[in-house]
Amino acid sequence: MLTFNNIKNKNTKFSTIYNSSYKYGFSSQEVNKKYYYQINKINKVLSPINNYKIHQGYLSINVDDILYKKDNYFKNINVDFIDKESNKEYVFTQDLFSYISQQMEQCKTISINVGLNNYIYDNQEKSYSTHSILIILHPIKNKKSKHINYNMFWFNSHGRSLHYTNFHIKQLSSKRFKKVDLSKPIDFIIAERFVESFNTFKTKNKIKNQTIHYKPNDKHNYLGLNLQLYDNHGCCFIFPILFNLILHTNYNKYFINTHNDNVKMESTVCSLLEEKNVELFVYHCLGEIDDRIHNPIIQYYKTKDEYKLDEDLDSHLDKYKEKLIKNVLIKTMGFIKQSYWSIALFNIKN
């Protein structure tokens, strides 16, 4: 198997990378694409090795409908996922909350790739942009209680820049637009409506033993550095894919951080989610792509100085700018597309 370090950042044009990602389905919301079947294959290979249960879903959300329609938006929303029937894989569609409830009953970690349609209005392009984020629903361990408790984690690569999205451009007609001020950032509104709607679903279906916990703070949301500050190509789709990939590769496997012969094995994805250390999880993901990020992380484990960690990584992003984004694209895509996964899955079946 090729590791991230084995995948070289070739001198490839962004346009070529983008065309490749589009053809494979990385940047597509249509689940019947190569990427979605491949990440499902990776899940099947790694789950018995790393001893985890993760289920992956794919969701499209219309921000306009959430902000401006008074009804319960999520009650009629479906989630797509890949599953097997008669020894063949298909894309299935299910009511969002019945899907989540079923996975919670089986104590599975739930990973949902989300496309936020009509998220931000681009004045230059004169159109709305779609933004990609990741939701992880993670079980809270408590052997003494039969109640099923989950934490919801919201990963938006814009990080703390979310605080500046407390407005939305509403389209009134083909030529007329209006700026609408919001009481809180768009992501927080959507996430809270999500949980409120799940509670309504529970009441309607008389489900009393399930709870999703969420708060609009840095314990449940990635509010670290804006990873797309130097992204002039619209590469938001790759970050949820990377986070979901590392969720699989390191769920119960320690991150190995090396720098100048200094080796540290401190955390797994599971332990970071249990600690609700969302920011450190994201920085570990970047460290898998770029070894130079390991040193600030190692220093953080020594000092627990969050401000210094942020400062060091901010300097790193400022230094390498779009080179880092290009590195994330090439290495994440290369790791997923490698033929190893097909061979490994064949060996498991036989």
What string of H, E and C letters represents the secondary structure of 66-130? Answer: HHHCCCCHHHHCEEEEEEEECCEEEEEEEEHHHHHHHHHHCCCEEEEEEEEEEEEEECCCCEEEE
Token output for 250 = 């390191």
- As for how many domains the chain has, the answer is 1
**pLDDT digits 0-9 by tens, 169-185:** 999 988 899 999 999 99
Identify the CA nearest to 12 among candidates 21, 1, 4, 23: 21
Average pLDDT over residues 139-146: 87
CB atoms within 10 A of CB 123: 9
CA distance 109 to 345: 21
Query: Which range is least confidently modeled, 7-16, 26-35, 229-238, 320-329?
Result: 7-16
Query: Which range is least confidently modeled, 92-106, 217-231, 245-259?
Result: 245-259
| Res. 262: pLDDT tops 70 | no
- The range of the structural domain enclosing residue 118 comes to 4-349
Average pLDDT, the chain: 92
Amino acid letter at 320?
Answer: Y
CB 301, CB 292: distance < 8 Å: no
Residue 350 pLDDT level (bands cut at 50, 70, 90): low
Q: The dihedral of CA 11, 15, 17, 20: what is its sign?
A: negative
| Res. 103: pLDDT tops 70 | yes
Query: What is the pLDDT, as a whole number, of residue 14?
Result: 84
Query: What is the pLDDT, as a whole number, of residue 125?
Result: 78
H/E element holding 273? helix 269-274
Query: What is the pLDDT, as a whole number, of residue 263?
Result: 65
CA distance 88 to 17: 31
**Packing angle between helix 238-249 and helix 34-50, nearest 10 degrees?**
20
Residue 145 pLDDT level (bands cut at 50, 70, 90): confident
**pLDDT digits 0-9 by tens, 263-318:** 667 799 999 999 999 999 999 999 999 989 988 998 998 899 999 999 999 999 99
Token output for 108 = 């599975």
Between 118 and 126, whose confidence is greater?
118
DSSP 9-29: -----HHHHHHHHHHHTTT-S
Q: What is the percent of the chain with per-residue pLDDT over 90, rounded to a whole number?
A: 71
CA distance 134 to 157: 9
Residue 244 pLDDT level (bands cut at 50, 70, 90): very high
Token output for 46 = 């790694």
Query: What is the pLDDT, as a whole number, of residue 87?
Result: 83
Token output for 346 = 């064949």
Residue 142 pLDDT level (bands cut at 50, 70, 90): confident
Average pLDDT over residues 19-34: 90
CA distance 225 to 131: 17
Query: What is the pLDDT, as a whole number, of residue 115?
Result: 96
Q: What is the percent of the chain with per-residue pLDDT over 70, rounded to a whole number?
A: 97
| Res. 259: pLDDT tops 70 | no
CA distance 158 to 276: 19
Query: What is the pLDDT, as a whole number, of residue 51?
Result: 84
Between 8 and 156, whose confidence is greater?
156
Identify the CA nearest to 193 among candidates 60, 63, 56, 57: 63
How far lies 2's CA from each of 48, 125, 219, 244, 335, in Å?
19, 39, 33, 18, 7
Residue 49 pLDDT level (bands cut at 50, 70, 90): confident
CA distance 309 to 16: 34
